[in-house]
Amino acid sequence: MLIKILHKDFLKNKVIYITLCLFIALSALLVASGTNMITELVHSMNALFAKSNVPHFVQMHAGKIDRGEIDTFAEDNPLIKNKQIVEMLHIDASNIELGNHLTGKHSVMDHYFVKQNSTMDRLLNLDSEVLQISKGEIAVPVYFRQRAGIKLGDKVKIPNKDFDMEWTVVDFVRDAQMNPSVVHSKRFVLHETDLNDLKNRLGEVEYLIEFQLKDPATLNEFRNIYQSSNLPQQGPAIDYHLFKALNALTDGIVATVVLLVSLLLMIIAILCIRFTVHAAIEEDIKEIGVMKAIGISLQAMKKIYLFKYIILAVVASLIGYILSTFLSHLFTNNIMLYIGMAPKSPFLKMLPLLAVFCLFMIIVFFCVMAFNVMNKISAVEALRSGSMRKTDRVKVSFPLSKNKFMDVPTFLGFADIFGRFKLYRLLLFVFFLCSFIIIVPVNFLNTIQSSDFIQYMGVERSDVRIDIPQVDSQRFAELIAHIHNDQDVKRYAPLSTSQFKVLNQEGIEENIMVEIGDFSIFPLEYLKGSAPIRKNEIALSYLNSKEMKKTVGDTLRLILQGKEQELVISGIYQDVTNGGRTAKALLPMNHQPVLWYEVAVDFKTGIDIQAKKEEYAQAFYPSKVTDLKEYLKQTFGNTVDQLKFLTTLAIIIALFISTLITSLFLKMLVAKDFSEIAIMKRIGFSPYHIRKHYIVKIGFVLGVGIILGTITSNTVGESLVSGMLSLIGAAKITFVIDPVKTYILCPLIVLFVVITTTILSTVSVGKIRMED
């Protein structure tokens, strides 16, 4: 009997049920996909780190090393389980040709050539197996497969006036340390013979001094011991936790946003069920009154109605889950490429299904709650008026007779909103969430694509940035002299980066990377305070200030030329480079050995920046000369691609939700207002005026929802994004808003979809008659 009732009811309202089924299926699809994405990311990254045998602490060093001294340190330290020294041959990007069409001339990446490691930090292929390379072959970082289109069989060449070397691409490298695009170091794997041959001809040798600990919990203790020693430290120190954070950054952001959208969809799904249930009860109110009158129990009636929604939720949830198994690659493509897919246990495979089951149970629970409205239905009232008692209407004190500002349908529309605000607030909340779902990804995408995003990398905004990665003070002096005499230059700021010792609160020495120069020329935005303008001042990056528990006005004890000097913290800034742990000061440049030099340059109005970039690149080879737009593109291009996909998906979902909820709400509302519509037609209102009456109501609620959604997106949305990026050093993101997209285009698209849905959903009012 229940099956027959379900079949008959489906044929009667098939459009509504199909639409509702699609909506629940979409919710299930995203819940399953988001859960699967998080599961794959965490599980596969753990597997990658295990197969790579990732070290717990890595010290990068540019310069000579004493291997015996490092061996002695490792033997005498009881915390160390294993140690390894990795040689990396740095080749300037302008010397390398990748494939048949691409050169590394303007790459911001540092290209290192290495051999396979023996004990830990193993470099893997796309099957997550340890790479084996023969003579004449090369394995290219997976970054260049995605960003540059390098394919198997392509050639990697080093054309030189004295020699030519060429290798065939036979595989791609999954590098647990240097996979992410935000890490500007990339390792190419050669056979040991080819590497030694290349080392005798070109390049500078740098080192990774790597340690595995017996207990990873002793990492902080070991870091303090190492940094207090006299062992090589001319470069950043990176640890196991930072490797994980950097590898999870891009996909972690996307997965978090997918789960956030899933949560919002779950809330909207509950409202959708409520709308549908109330609409169905309004439509069948007379039948319910008859059933109550002849003595059918309330539980039996609820069972009849609830059965079809349980069947609908089961079917829709299964459809969503099955679709997620086919479409999961859209969400996990990046994980598959950079990290790989590790075999999962049955429990991990079941997690997306369990997430969908939880969604199903929540929907059923709120279905049961929604049907409690039947408890309030009076059999007499239902048979007499054909509707539930209107207990939600509030009398509006402003009478129609005093209205002089708007026509009657418009006035009645506003009067109904304020008179039944409890009813319309549900629709308002849905429009608010839809606006939030659209605007946050749009604003975040616009922000990360904007040149202003450079400030979150601790880099001052300028037309061109020039880096001299090797320690070459003479070349730096020649560059400064050339820039100073260049009539096209408006302003410039020379900077150098050195590593200093700093005393922490326990008096233990730690390393700190300090950028030295005049920071008033290209001002940076600070979270707190301002740039250092005196020689006894220093500015700290957000993560440094957090770990050191320092704020503006506190002092920092720095070791300068063997003597302790107190510096006052002038400001806190955001930085996602070098592990997010940097500082800026006005110290003399000759205090410490320089790790690298930089020059920020602005040109006068009308100067061709691209031409000047080429001129400087040729004149001061092998210095890196990049404009900030290209710098950001190469660093965050992968994240931008993921966010574009997510933003498109969010807009489609939000428009679908708006269409569905508007149609369901209007179906319920027309059913509620059946008698009033008939009376309005009898006293002379045309179908056009009645439909205008509903368009005014929906349009007004939509407008308020968009305004609230926009305000919340620019406040709460910024906080959510800032919370995600605070893990790597950007604690306060300010959205760069494109007013045309955010305030005009997006609202107009939503408005068009909702008003079109309103017009189509109110066609039925023309068929309502007083006799009915």
Supply the pLDDT for residue 393: 54
Do 185 and 281 sit in the same domain of this protein?
no
Supply the pLDDT for residue 88: 92
In-domain check, residue 242: no
Helix axes 240-283, 718-725, angle to 10 degrees: 150
> pLDDT-derived band of residue 87, with 50, 70 and 90 as boundaries?
very high
In-domain check, residue 459: no
C-alpha separations of 113 from 304, 312, 524, 650, 652 in Å: 71, 58, 35, 41, 44
Do 259 and 281 sit in the same domain of this protein?
yes
In-domain check, residue 245: no
Do 619 and 637 sit in the same domain of this protein?
no
Total domain count for the chain?
Answer: 4
> Which residue, 626, 651, 667, sits at the end of a domain?
626
Lowest-confidence range among 20-24, 383-387, 690-694, 696-700? 383-387
Do 266 and 173 sit in the same domain of this protein?
no
Q: 407: helix, coil or strand?
A: coil
When computed from its CA atoms, the radius of gyration of the chain, rounded to whole angstroms, is 33
Instruction: Choose among 226, 182, 275: nearest CA to 55.
Output: 226
In-domain check, residue 353: yes
Do 566 and 579 sit in the same domain of this protein?
yes
The phi and psi torsions of 557 (rounded to 5 degrees) equal -95, 110
- How far is it, in rounded angstroms, from Cα 32 to Cα 316? 13
In-domain check, residue 246: no
Distance from first CA to last CA of the chain, Å, rounded?
Answer: 29
Residue 150: its H or E element: none
- How far is it, in rounded angstroms, from Cα 253 to Cα 334? 12
In-domain check, residue 621: yes
> Which residue, 602, 626, 650, sits at the end of a domain?
626
Do 301 and 341 sit in the same domain of this protein?
yes
Do 198 and 315 sit in the same domain of this protein?
no
pLDDT digits (tens, 9 = 90+) for 180-201: 877 888 999 999 999 999 888 8
What length is written for the chain? 772
Residues 6+ apart with CB under 8 A from 481: none
> Which residue, 368, 389, 410, sits at the end of a domain?
389
**What percentage of the chain exceeds 70 in pLDDT?**
83
In-domain check, residue 395: no
Do 75 and 215 sit in the same domain of this protein?
yes
Phi-psi region of 63 (alpha: psi -120 to 50; beta: other; left: phi over 0): left
Do 365 and 438 sit in the same domain of this protein?
no
Lowest-confidence range among 204-218, 247-261, 298-312, 491-505? 247-261
Tokens of 714: 């620019």
Helices (DSSP H) in 53-154: which residue ranges?
67-76, 142-148
Beta carbons within 10 angstroms of residue 4's beta carbon: 8
pLDDT digits (tens, 9 = 90+) for 557-573: 888 877 888 899 999 98
Which residues of 72-109 form beta strands (DSSP E)?
Answer: 80-91, 97-98, 102-103
Do 555 and 617 sit in the same domain of this protein?
yes
Do 336 and 423 sit in the same domain of this protein?
no
Instruction: Choose among 602, 526, 524: nearest CA to 571.
Output: 526
pLDDT digits (tens, 9 = 90+) for 635-669: 777 778 878 888 888 888 888 888 878 887 787 77
Tokens of 738: 């494109």
At residue 638, what is the residue type? N
- How far is it, in rounded angstroms, from Cα 483 to Cα 502? 34
- How far is it, in rounded angstroms, from Cα 770 to Cα 772? 5
Domain assignment of residue 166, given as a range: 64-233
Residue 96: its H or E element: none
- How far is it, in rounded angstroms, from Cα 121 to Cα 58? 10
| Model confidence at 519: pLDDT above 90 | no
Do 446 and 472 sit in the same domain of this protein?
no
- How far is it, in rounded angstroms, from Cα 689 to Cα 711? 33
